[in-house]
């Protein structure tokens, strides 16, 4: 990936991570008032996602500045790449479980989703990881996000309000972003990879609009 | 945060937080409201209304004003902030398919 793409990647991931952490902050804040398990899941999920995105930004920076031909640099790159992939998968997984609990209120639905969606970890070697991403991780995130978008669609169809539309749009763009990212990994195109990041960034912009909108509630 | 109100145990379909909000909005809309007015608007029995009004007063979200023999309630500044906070929470959780 060229320097320009790396710089763009870092900025987009920093912004997206900040928005994700902001969503988690409000989820925790309102959970103190409302006390709801779904909010706990959403708070935890967005925390993992936000930290994962910030680690991804730091990893992209390390690609630019560290000497990965040396053992220390390569180990650091491997560790940070694995960390952000695991954190992001965990984030989407927890959000997906939270949505399921909210939509169906089924006792063991979270465990069921976990059992269905998390395959056995494949053996990972650092040369399999390309600029902090890999095909397996992207595929898992796409599956999880497809599930989240489906739940979001059900919620929007029920409530039909502007804020739930922002959340649905946010997750839909993030899903589309990962689909494009997966495509870029298959055709080995840095430009398409960056387009995927841009689309995902659009998703976090929609999340930011949701936060701004929820803070400006019209008096009842 | 303006005090924690646990709403996880709904009472007759409405959570405690929702009942607080209904009472506060009723009083706020009327500016000064008599107990009977709140009772009808918030759809509560007299016993439950007395209990919730007591809790809201303890939290300094409403204040009681005596005007001759009549008794009125007003929403305090803290109560108005609480209404805004709960409405924001309602909007936030609503986007995820939840209610307060």
pLDDT tens per residue, range A123-150: 333 333 544 457 888 888 899 999 889 8
Q: Residues with Cβ < 8 Å from B28, sequence gap 6 or more?
A: B75, B79, B80, B83
CB atoms B88 and A30 under 8 Å: yes
**Interface touch B96/A102, C-beta < 8 Å:** yes
In a domain, B8, yes or no: no
By residue range, what is the domain housing residue B63? Answer: 16-93
Strands B62-67 and B70-75, bridge-based pairing? antiparallel
The answer to whether residue B7 sits within a structural domain is no
ipTM for the complex shown? 0.77
Q: Which stretch of A11-20, A84-93, A122-131 has the lowest confidence by average pLDDT?
A: A122-131
Q: Verify whether the Cβ–Cβ distance A33 to B86 is below 8 Å.
A: yes
Q: Is residue B5 part of a domain?
A: no
Please state which of the ranges A2-16, B62-76, B77-91 shows the lowest mean pLDDT: A2-16
Contact A214 B92 (CB under 8 A): yes
B88 has a chain A CB within 8 A of its CB: yes
On whether residue B44 sits in a domain, the answer given is: yes
| pTM: predicted TM-score of the whole model, two decimal places | 0.78
Contacts of B4 in chain A (CB under 8 A): 32-33, 35
Q: Judge: B97–A217 Cβ closer than 8 Å, yes or no.
A: no
Q: Is B1 a domain residue? A: no
Task: State how far Cα B78 lies from the chain centre.
Answer: 12
Confidence of residue B55 (pLDDT cuts 50, 70, 90): very high
Look at residue B10 and tell me if it is in a domain.
no
CATH number at residue B48: 1.10.10.10
Measured between CB atoms, does B96 come within 8 Å of chain A?
yes
Closest CA in chain B for residue A29: B1
Residue spans of alpha helices (H) in chain B: 16-30, 35-41, 46-58, 77-94
Q: Where are the alpha helices (DSSP H) in A35-134?
A: 37-65, 71-104, 109-117
The owner of tokens 């906070």 is B85
Residue A169 has pLDDT above 90, yes or no: yes
Tell me if B9 is assigned to some domain. Answer: no
Mean pLDDT on A168-185: 91
B1 and A33 in contact by Cβ < 8 A?
Answer: yes
Across the interface, of B25, B89, B95, the residue whose CB is closest to A33 is: B89
B90 contacts in chain A (CB < 8 Å): 217
Count: domains in chain B: 1
| Domain-embedded: residue B99 | no
Which tokens is A137 given? 């991780």
């Amino acid at each position: 990936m060229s320097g320009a793409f790396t710089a763009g990647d870092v900025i987009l991931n920093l912004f997206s991570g900040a928005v994700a952490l902001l969503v988690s902050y409000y989820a925790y804040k309102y959970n103190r008032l409302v006390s709801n398990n779904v909010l706990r899941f959403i708070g935890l999920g967005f925390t993992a996602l936000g930290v994962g995105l910030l680690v991804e930004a730091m990893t992209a920076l390390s690609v630019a500045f560290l000497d990965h031909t040396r053992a220390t640099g390569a180990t650091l790159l491997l560790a940070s790449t694995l960390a952000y992939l695991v954190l992001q998968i965990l984030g989407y997984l927890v959000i997906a479980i939270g949505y399921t609990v909210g939509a169906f209120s089924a006792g063991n639905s979270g465990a069921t989703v976990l059992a269905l969606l998390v395959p056995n970890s494949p053996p990972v070697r650092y040369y399999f990881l390309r600029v902090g991403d890999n095909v397996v991780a992207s595929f898992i995130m796409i599956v999880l996000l497809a599930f989240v978008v489906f739940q979001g669609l059900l919620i929007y169809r029920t409530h039909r309000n502007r804020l739930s539309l922002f959340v649905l749009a946010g997750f839909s763009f993030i899903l589309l972003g990962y689909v494009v990212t997966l495509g870029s990994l298959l055709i080995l195109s840095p430009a398409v990879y960056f387009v995927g990041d841009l689309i995902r960034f659009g998703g976090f912009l929609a999340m930011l609009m949701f936060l701004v909108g929820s803070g400006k509630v019209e008096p009842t | 945060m303006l005090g924690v109100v646990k709403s996880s145990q709904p009472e007759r379909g409405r959570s405690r937080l929702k009942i607080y909000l209904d009472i506060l909005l009723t009083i706020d809309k009327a500016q000064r409201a008599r107990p009977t007015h709140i009772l009808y608007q918030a759809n509560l029995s007299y016993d439950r209304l007395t209990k919730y009004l007591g809790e809201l007063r303890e939290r300094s979200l409403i204040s009681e004003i005596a005007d001759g023999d009549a008794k009125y309630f007003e929403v305090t500044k803290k109560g108005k902030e609480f209404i805004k906070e709960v409405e924001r929470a309602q909007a936030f959780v609503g986007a995820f398919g939840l209610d307060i």
